[in-house]
Amino acid sequence: MNIQISNKTLEDFEADIKIVLVINKNFEHKWVKDKEALEFLGFEGESEESTFVTHAKTIYVGCESLEAEEIRLACAKALSVLKKTKAKTAKIGTYSNDCPGVNIKAMSEAFVLGGYTFDQYKSKKSKSTLECITICCDDYSTINISLETANKALHVGTTIAASTNFAKDLINTIPFEMHSLKLEEIAHSLASIDGVTCKSYGKEFLEEQGMGAFLAVNRASHIPPRLIHLTYKPENASKKIVYVGKGLTYDTGGLSLKGGEHMVTMKCDMSGAAAALGIFQGAALLGLPYEIHAIIGATENAIGPEAYKPDDVLVAKNGKTIEVRNTDAEGRLVVADLLCYAQEQKPDLMIDMATLTGACVVALGEYTTGIMGHSESLKNELYEISKKSGELTGILPFNRYLKKMLKSHIADMSNISSSRYGGAITAGLFLANFIEDAYKDKWLHLDIAGPAYSEKEWGYNQCGASGTGVRMNLYWLIEQSKTLH
């Protein structure tokens, strides 16, 4: 399905179906032409409410305001109605907004995100006749948007959404196929983008690097581990930004085996890695002016005679020792070694993303990412920008008392907290042990265990993976690059 811009008016442009958003219950808007029919249908213009006025071939959707997220939700709703029809083409107008392009970007994001389907394992594939949606910018002159700006907004919006969908595909693929070597292959394929190089390393390298924590997690797996390192280096890059992703292609829990109910969906435990790849791809395709690195630790947490055990003591890359008390707290072990490696790149900003704890889901609910770190300003900046991107986040504060919960009698620290409370924060504090002072204020940890994967659809997210992390980070990078010029 294609999305395009036209400078024709909504009325003049020819299409099978018209989409009209009823903004803030304003039935007096010039595009609301079927007031009588809408009243007959009982349409009140509530948020996400939709109806199809057949004779006018018009889909009406309620939209609370001109906020980008309201537009996204309404457009995705319109698309779901549209897909049930046999229409090949559809059209929608833009709405006056004091920020040129915001409407268009949000609309394009919604159509691409909402249009995602994953039916690789279904023998009957979902079919849609829809070929093209046209965004008619008839009022572009009144709100001062040139056709060029409109097309740029379309390009940015579709790239952000396509990169999110790319991450979703990786996560939704079954663990039998999406193992460390497959992730490696996919990462290498990104090297076809201008300015991108990809390196990947196996067991020997991890041993040379002293990554005893990462290696221990891999021990029972019959598939070798991979540290994947992608670099995008545009000319005159102003900053170096490193994304670190937890790439547990399956998490059985290891010897501290998960119960059946908790194990299912653990193919999503590489969502941090998928997010890093999605952000990386989006940034490179948009040609953002930063040197961007994606560093991924890919392995599975399996069981077998070689498995690492509770009571083992591991040595991480920075020489710190870790008592294993629960092999299901494996993500932090992999990410700890990755963070040590990432700091050697001398980043200006370093963000790790991981489906790290069930406790984060308890704390914030299923839809919200937990932001942690030492820098108040970085945490607040990402929190604010995430709202614009449509992703939900909440800041979880570190404190000195929870830090003490990681004490071990036999090693420098334990891999789990001695308290059952505050598990998302203690996991973040565990990672903080691997951050050198010089990088304390340049690091953020995102626990995406809640929103990364859901077995029910929410908003414009389908059942399954959501690609969490991609949109908020691309929004952030784009926003920062604007202030740069």
359's contact among ligand BES, Zn ion, none, with CB below 5 to 8 A by partner kind, is ligand BES
Stretch that binds ligand BES, among 104-112, 122-130, 325-333, 364-372 (CB under 6 A): 325-333
Which of 82, 110, 449, 478: binder of ligand BES (CB under 6 A)?
Answer: 449
How many residues of this chain bind ligand BES (CB under 6 A)? 16
Kindly state whether residue 322 participates in binding ligand BES, applying the rule CB under 6 A: no
Closer to ligand BES by CB, 159 or 357: give it. 357
| CA 200 – CA 203 distance, rounded (Å) | 11
Sign of CA dihedral 66, 69, 75, 77: negative
State the Cα–Cα distance between residues 390 and 471, nearest whole angstrom: 8
Q: Is 331 in the site for ligand BES (CB under 6 A)?
A: yes
CB atoms within 10 A of CB 423: 23
Site for ligand BES in 195-254 (CB under 6 A): 251
- Listed ranges 129-137, 278-286, 292-300, 327-335: which one lies at the site for ligand BES (CB under 6 A): 327-335
Amino acid at 188: H
Q: How far apart are the first and last CA of the chain?
A: 34
Q: Which is nearer to Zn ion, 331 or 370 (CB)?
A: 331
Binding test (CB under 6 A) with ligand BES, winner from 64, 70, 109, 269: 269
Binds 326, which of ligand BES, Zn ion, none (CB < 5 to 8 A, cut-off by type)? ligand BES
Closest distance between ligand BES and the C-beta of residue 369, in Å? 12
Residue 423 interacts with which of Zn ion, ligand BES, none, CB < 5 to 8 Å by class: ligand BES
The position carrying tokens 């740069």 is 484
Asked if 35 contacts 43 with a C-beta cutoff of 8 angstroms, the reply is no
Question: What are the b/e assignments for 320-350, b being 16+ CB within 10 Å?
Answer: bebbbbebbbbbbbbbbbbbbbbbeeebebb
DSSP annotation of 258: P
If you ran DSSP here, which 8-state letter would residue 179 be given?
Answer: S
Q: Which of 22, 255, 359, 411 binds ligand BES (CB under 6 A)?
A: 359
Is 329 a binder of ligand BES (CB under 6 A)?
A: yes
Q: What CA–CA distances, in Å, run from 347 to 117, 270, 353, 374, 467? A: 36, 23, 16, 16, 24
Q: Which is nearer to ligand BES, 159 or 369 (CB)?
A: 369
Residue among 458, 480, 476 at smallest CA distance from 383: 476
Give catalytic status of residue 440 as yes or no: no
Q: Which of residues 400-439 bind ligand BES (CB under 6 A)?
A: 416, 423
Q: Which is nearer to Zn ion, 90 or 372 (CB)?
A: 372
449 binds, options ligand BES, Zn ion, none, Cβ within 5 to 8 A by partner type:
ligand BES
Nearest distance from residue 331's CB to ligand BES, in Å? 4
Per DSSP, what are the bridge partners of residue 245? 296, 353
What's the closest the beta carbon of residue 280 comes to Zn ion, in angstroms? 22
Kindly indicate which of the ranges 184-192, 209-217, 350-358, 396-404 contains the residues binding ligand BES, using the contact rule CB under 6 A.
Answer: 350-358
| CA–CA dist 391, 368 (Å, integer) | 8
* 332 tagged catalytic: yes
Buried/exposed 114-144: b ≥16 CB within 10 Å, e otherwise: bbbebeeeeeeeeebebeebbbbbbebeebe
CB of 76 to ligand BES, least distance (A): 25
Angle at 158 between CA 183 and CA 15, to 5 degrees: 135
Closer Cβ to Zn ion, 66 or 167, answer by number: 167
Q: Select from Zn ion, ligand BES, none the partner in contact with residue 295, using the beta carbon and a kind-dependent cut-off of 5 to 8 Å.
A: none
R_g of the chain computed on alpha carbons:
24
| Spatial contact of 83 and 128, defined as CB atoms under 8 Å apart | yes
**Least distance in Å: CB of 151 to Zn ion?**
42
From the candidates 258, 325, 387, 388, give the one annotated as an active-site residue: 258
Helix (H) or strand (E) holding 479: helix 470-484
* Residue ranges that bind Zn ion, judged by CB under 5 A: 248, 251, 269, 328, 330-331
- Contact between 326 and ligand BES by CB under 6 A: the answer reads yes
C-alpha 326/C-alpha 430 separation (Å) is 14
Residue 252 binding partner per list Zn ion, ligand BES, none, with a CB distance cut-off of 5 to 8 Å that depends on partner kind: none
The DSSP result for 381-432, as a single string, is HHHHHHHHHT-EEEE----HHHHHTT--SSSSEESS-SSSS-HHHHHHHHHH
Q: 183 vs 329, which CB is nearer to ligand BES?
A: 329
Nearer to ligand BES, 328 or 352 (CB): 328
Cα dihedral 270, 276, 278, 282, rounded to 10, equals 180
Catalytic residue, chosen from 72, 226, 332, 442, is: 332
SS3 52: strand
Q: Which is nearer to Zn ion, 102 or 416 (CB)?
A: 416
Closest contact distance (angstroms) between CB of 28 and ligand BES is 47
Does 69 participate in binding ligand BES (rule CB under 6 A)? no
Q: Which residues does the annotation mark as catalytic?
A: 258, 332
Q: List contacts with ligand BES (CB under 6 A).
A: 251, 269, 326, 328-331, 355-359, 361, 416, 423, 449
